[in-house]
Amino acid sequence: MSGLPNFSQFVNPGVYWSQTAAAAIGVVGGQPTVVALVGPGIGYRTFSDTLTLTSTTAQSLSQFGISTASIVVTSTDGSITYVATTDYTITTTASSDGNALDTTNTIVRVGAGAITSGETVVVSYQYTDSTYYMPVLVNNYPTVEALFGAAINSTTGAILSPLALAAQFAFSNGANSLVLVACQTSSGTTTTRSYLQAAYTKLAAVDTVDIVVPLPVGLTGTSIAPGDIINIGQDLDAFVNTQSNNSLFQIGIIGYETTETVTPDAIAAAIDDQRTIEAWPNQLSYYNGFVNATQTISGYYLAAAIAGIFAKNPVQQGLTKQIVNGFSGIPPLVFATMTIAYKNQLSAAGVCVAEIVNGGTLQLRYGTTTQPDTVYTREASLVRSQDFMINSLVQTITNAGLIGTPITENTSAIITGLTTGGLNFMVKQGVINAFSGVSCTIQSENPTIEQVTFAYKPSYPLNFVTIAFSIDTSTGALVNSSTLASSVG
């Protein structure tokens, strides 16, 4: 969490915040309007150039990073497909800016080939330039598919674009806006820890993101040889904490590959932070309509779905008992292991477990973070609410235009009023339950600092209802023996 800067050194003028150690303060998060998904897409985009090839003059293809093996040259009506080296040649040139992805290409007709001088042709190809790996904001699935490919192969039913499929789950569970960051792959759609880290670096500059979900496609490990399974969870946690310490309040949600067997409670213990949630199980059933069959998909799609639930709900709404859409269940072998005792073990250890209820509904059992020590670190809704409160107050005071103006006898009262008004609004919205003790004073050691202090009561989630009863053996009525005999006869 953030702390006040050292004002004995240079500090950029602005509004800063810190949390006191008082028990009355609970830790919480900002209104999630945007979910970021970080993972592999299909790996390329497609494009077609319409060019007129004259004599042996080279014509430039418009996109960077073209896969020359994917180039197809046809006549404008599509009736003729021309042959490389026989009818045309392609030349690739390295990028002038040094980016290995941004190569350029030119096409030249072969004089003795089938393309006549002055003929117009269509050049279709796949390309992956440096912009493919930059964050992009999307608001609907067709845009996702256009940018990162179809989620599912309509013929084989295979997953083509993990990023697109994760976006489907996020949208279907309530997300309205997604920031997608395609990470590089080592083979097919398999990615690596370092590629995910590189994608986080690009995401760091996007100041609208509230929830971050990585897709560790192909990353696996066992309890004996965990590989990067624990590392990728800790990397996510480090990223969202760094962002939040810079007042870009974020929460991370991570799920894992179907083939990894590191125990989920061990992963949660290694992460151990209020800003990161581990989704479990790592195997979910998914009905694939293209092949009319149910297949097993990975836990990072569950994480994307949970992010969608967060985005749909107000910040004070937790995950406990929330319904998860888009899955058809849990595979039988995994379901058989999920006894009440085992689910209790995982929930107590800080694992957010999804379970089957009511004959088939997938529901989140208990919306815990990976730091289950206290209610303030365990409840993601408290983390989100406090983030929202801090961000709102900082923005309110910043937008009032006070920073840089002379301190007057009214300044403290103005700041107190702004703070009180903001807190009252949050009480009405249900973000917090109550507040008290708002005051603003000039710090004696530095007369340019006005310090606001207050205490607040979070909007605690209702997780338990207990019912206590006793049996009253006295009815207060007299019953004669004949009546009693007839009533029981």
Q: What is the pLDDT of residue 99?
A: 81
Length of the chain: 489
Q: What is the pLDDT of residue 125?
A: 97
- What's the angle, vertex CA 287, arms to CA 284 and CA 292, rounded to 5? 145
Q: Is the pLDDT of residue 227 over 50?
A: yes
Q: Is the pLDDT of residue 90 over 50?
A: yes
Q: What is the 3-state secondary structure (H, E, C) of 281-344?
A: CCEEEEEECCCCEEEEEEHHHHHHHHHHHHHHCCCCCCCCCCECCCCCECCHHHHHHCCHHHHH
State the average pLDDT over residues 113-133. Answer: 95
Q: What is the pLDDT of residue 7?
A: 59
Separation between Cα atoms, residue 245 and residue 339, nearest integer Å: 39
Beta-strand (E) ranges in 200-292?
211-214, 251-254, 276-280, 283-288
Q: What is the pLDDT of residue 31?
A: 45
CB 370 within 8 A of CB 352: no
State the average pLDDT over residues 305-321. Answer: 95
Instruction: State the first-to-last Cα distance of the chain, in angstroms, to the nearest integer.
Output: 72
Instruction: Please list, in sequence order, all residues whose beta carbon lies within 8 angstroms of the beta carbon of residue 348, skipping any fewer than 6 positions away.
Output: 372
Token pair, residue 245, equals 């310490």
Kindly give the pairing relationship between strand 88-93 and strand 177-182.
unpaired
Q: What would the pLDDT profile of 41-61 be if each residue is shown by its tens digit?
A: 999 999 999 999 999 899 999
Q: What is the pLDDT of residue 28?
A: 32
Separation between Cα atoms, residue 412 and residue 477, nearest integer Å: 69
Cα 183 → chain centroid: 14
Q: Is the pLDDT of residue 32 over 90?
A: no
Q: What would the pLDDT profile of 243-284 be if each residue is shown by its tens digit?
A: 999 989 999 999 999 999 999 999 999 999 999 999 999 999
Q: What is the pLDDT of residue 477?
A: 64
Q: What would the pLDDT profile of 168-191 be if each residue is shown by its tens digit?
A: 999 999 999 999 999 999 888 999
Provide the phi-psi class of 158: left if phi over 0, else alpha when psi is between -120 and 50, else beta: beta
Element (H, E) at 441: strand 432-442
State the average pLDDT over residues 471-486. Answer: 63
Cα 267 → chain centroid: 18
Adjacent-strand bridge partners of 456:
435
Q: What is the mean pLDDT of the chain?
A: 90
Longest CA span, the chain: 119
Task: Report the percent of the chain where pLDDT is more than 90.
Answer: 82
Q: What is the pLDDT of residue 57?
A: 94
Separation between Cα atoms, residue 221 and residue 161, nearest integer Å: 23
Query: Judging by beta carbons within 10 Å of its beta carbon (0-12, 13-18, 19+), is residue 325 exposed, middle or buried?
Result: middle
Comparing CA positions, the residue from 204, 194, 198 lying closest to residue 132 is 198
Comparing CA positions, the residue from 11, 285, 309 lying closest to residue 173 is 309
- b/e for 454-483, b at 16 or more Cβ within 10 A? bebebbbbeeeeeeeeeeeeeeeeeeeeee
Q: What would the pLDDT profile of 379-396 be if each residue is shown by its tens digit?
A: 999 999 999 999 999 999
